[in-house]
Amino acid sequence: DVDAASDTMDYYQDGKDVLHMLAASGKPEDQTPMLISKITDIEFNPPWRIPADIAEKELFPKEQRDPGYFAREQIVKGPSAAVPLVQQAGSKGALGQVKFEFDNAYGVYLHDTPAKAAFAHDAREVSHGCVRLQHAVDLAKMLLNGVSGWSPDHIDQLIATNDTQTVNLPKPAPVMLLYWTAYVQNGRVVFGPDPYGWDDIL
């Protein structure tokens, strides 16, 4: 359960909130959509397959201004015009140590991040539309709890190798990206931030 308005994530088991963390959603110009889907795959040490619009607007200009930027950031040529650049997995990888994939029409996903500074701020709308998670590895371990061969120790060992590996969840996990600016908590109505200005539309 991700709330893009408050930039938080909660994982529920048997109706109980068992994992709460901060999140960082899309910038007002790159809004995180609302959707309901199911997490089907977890990718450890994920490379960032950089979409063409981000590459053209942001990264190619950076390399032109600062030759050597791609080499320092471990960015290499991608496989297609739609994905012209790929940032390799590792310490520089923008997706951190784990990525959660689910079917949706927007091309968004949940992922870890090496850039933890955003979690120190109240306003955390900093991404291109995907959602960064404060404790993504903890979520991966919970989703793989009880799956043969995927103990927490094994996950830690795999992450340490920097090798990319995708795990298909035997039982897909429901995921909701929501936007709550008003909700009931402990019997009271709470009004939260509206970073995208959607309340005016409603």
Q: Mind listing the pLDDT tens digit for each residue in 20-62?
A: 999 999 999 999 999 999 999 999 999 999 999 999 999 999 9
What would the pLDDT profile of 96-146 be if each residue is shown by its tens digit? 999 999 999 999 999 999 989 989 999 899 999 999 999 999 999 999 999
Q: Mean pLDDT over residues 69-94, rounded?
A: 96
pTM attached to this predicted model: 0.94
Q: Mean pLDDT over residues 70-77, rounded?
A: 97
Distance, CA of 44 to CA of 42 (rounded, Å): 6
Q: Mean pLDDT over residues 172-191, rounded?
A: 95
Residue 71 in this model has a pLDDT that exceeds 90: yes
β-pair partners for 178: 3
Helix (H) / strand (E) element for 176: namely strand 165-178
Distance, CA of 99 to CA of 137 (rounded, Å): 9
Residue 91 in this model has a pLDDT that exceeds 90: no
Residue 17 in this model has a pLDDT that exceeds 90: yes
Distance, CA of 200 to CA of 179 (rounded, Å): 14
Split at pLDDT 50, 70, 90, the class of 202 is: confident
- Above pLDDT 70, what percent of the chain? 100
Strand pairing of 48-50 and 110-111? unpaired
